[in-house]
A and B are shown apart, each in its own frame.
Chain A
């Protein structure tokens, strides 16, 4: 093993260093890949929490409700193509993103319970 290392080191020192770094980088990403797979496979992490970067349309898509539900909850006309994030909305209205998200969650829950009725 050491003699082999010494031989390749003597033949191509720079390539040997890069090879070592590349192997270390591969191991690093392999470990992270496994860790993230375990994290996202957990059903508790399946639902994407409502965050400031999301648009009302994205929340509707992500939570699988009609656009009218989320746009209605925020008193917005459901027009496609005009992007506004929840963070922008919260700032314009002087509210926190969390307060907006709570309103959205309440409206989505109301919509879903309506759908459950026969």
Chain B
């Protein structure tokens, strides 16, 4: 599978990297990390220019995140108010808002690179729960800069063993995301247990 992705990148170059970064930030399941690795590898082999790859990935990712945030803000927020009519749901929503307000900035930051598969969902949630646009954007740009630099650099450095890096990194990120979701759920459940106890 990764060979097909590499072939696409060598055929289409930065245009493809831009489009896939944009779409994958909107939860379209495209392996953009693989494409950035491949982009880095083709930089090492003199087939692509470094700044083309970096600018394409970075602008695609940031524009995609902004779009996801706006969708959450415009579409998600009214929907949530309609759903959260019952007191139980309202309590859950309030807990979610507190969580976002407390951890929203770092949450956005880490979801753009360390737990990249969670990124699009965090963008929607940030928009829906009205995390301030400035806070969202600052953490987001910082995070995406790390995401793009890490993957492109790994691609350049390990260009000659790109398939091995792709396999190892893909599974490592999968493991990290699984653990992160489990961690957030554990915190959530603890909060639910506490509020249950407090409520009697």
Interface residues of A (CB under 8 A from B): 7-8, 10-12, 15-16, 18-19, 22-30, 32-33, 36-37, 39-40, 45-46, 48, 51-55, 57-58, 60-64, 67, 80-81, 83, 85, 87-88
Contact = CB atoms under 8 A, between A and B. Distances in A.
Contacts of A48: 160-163
B15 interface: no
A12 B7 contact: no
Interface in B146-167: 159-164, 167
Query: Chain A's interface: helix, strand, loop or mixed, by majority?
Result: helix
B49 A81 contact: yes
Nearest to B41: A58
A8 B4 CA distance: 44
B95 to A, nearest CB: 10
A55 B168 contact: no
B11 A85 contact: yes
Nearest 4 Cβ contacts at the A-B interface = A26-B178, A29-B174, A53-B7, A25-B178
A17 to B, nearest CB: 9
B10 A12 contact: no
Given A22-B181, A55-B42, A83 B175 contact: no
Nearest to A67: B46
Nearest to B5: A53
A48 to B, nearest CB: 6
B186 interface: yes
B174 A32 contact: yes
B48 interface: yes
A53 B3 contact: yes
A28 B170 CA distance: 12
Interface stretch (B23-31, B78-86, B99-107, B187-195): B187-195
B35 to A, nearest CB: 12
B188 A12 contact: yes
B168 A46 contact: no
A9 to B, nearest CB: 9
A40 B193 contact: no
Given A33-B168, A37-B168, A60-B45, A15 B185 contact: yes
Contacts of B7: 52-53, 85, 87
B178 A33 contact: no
Given A46-B161, A87-B7, A22 B45 contact: no
Given A18-B185, A57-B45, A40 B178 contact: no
Nearest to B46: A80
